[in-house]
Amino acid sequence: MPGIAYPRVPGHEVIGRVEATGVGVEGWKPGDRVGVGWFGGSCGHCRRCRRGEAFACETIRAVTGVTRDGGYATRMLADVSAAAHVPDDMDEVGSAPLLCAGVTTFNARGWYSGVAADSEDTLRFCRLHDVGPMNEIYPFEQAQAAYDRMKSGQARFRVVLKMT
């Protein structure tokens, strides 16, 4: 993966709870449920960002699990521009894949994206219509077996690791 510096903890499509916020962050507080897909944030000032195309940021600084540690870490950092509100009644294992693959499907109307607003729209739609991914769930301790299953092409349709 271009731009990755090792060691790096992988994982995107993450749902958890806000532990702390940075100075000046609004709209979030400790304990809030949050989700982050592949989109790790944008610069906010390049030509594409100024045109409302943050997903195509020309100087993208953050990709979850690539430029900063991802969801398999015990804790992770996320830029506020990448954080999506997740309803408390949505199961994290069933909902986390919606933050990337789900957004891609939801946005099949003609643009790729994955910014936080797209994640929130996707979660709302899936909740309203009782739509979810088809997952094979493995405990984190069986990560190698899960990886082997995914690489074999036998999985139907996604392999998801459950962090305990």
Q: Are residues 121 and 142 in the same domain?
A: no
Q: pLDDT confidence of 109, banded at 50, 70, 90?
A: low
Are 18 and 78 in the same domain? yes
Cβ count near 21 (within 10 Å) = 15
Per-residue pLDDT tens digits for 37-84: 888 888 889 999 899 888 888 887 778 888 888 888 889 988 888 899
Q: Which of 31-35, 81-85, 113-117 has the lowest mean pLDDT?
A: 113-117
pLDDT for 112 beyond 80: no
Residue 35 has pLDDT above 70, yes or no: yes
Mean pLDDT, all residues of the chain: 88
Structural domain range at position 93: 14-132
Alpha-carbon span 63 to 121, nearest angstrom: 20
Percent of the chain with pLDDT over 90: 41
Q: Give mean pLDDT, residues 132-157.
A: 91
Specify the number of domains making up the chain. 2
Shortest CA distance to 121 belongs to which of 136, 10, 111? 111
Tell me what pLDDT residue 104 has: 82
Global confidence as pTM: 0.83
Statement to judge: residues 87 and 51 lie in one domain: yes
Pick from 2-16, 24-38, 99-113: least confident: 99-113
CA gap 155, 149 in Å, rounded: 6
In terms of domains, do 71 and 41 share one?
yes
Three-state secondary structure string covering 79-104: CHHHCEECCCCCCHHHHHHHHCHHHH
> Exposed (0-12), middle (13-18) or buried (19+): which is 104, by Cβ within 10 Å?
middle
CATH number at residue 119: 3.90.180.10
Q: Are residues 22 and 38 in the same domain?
A: yes
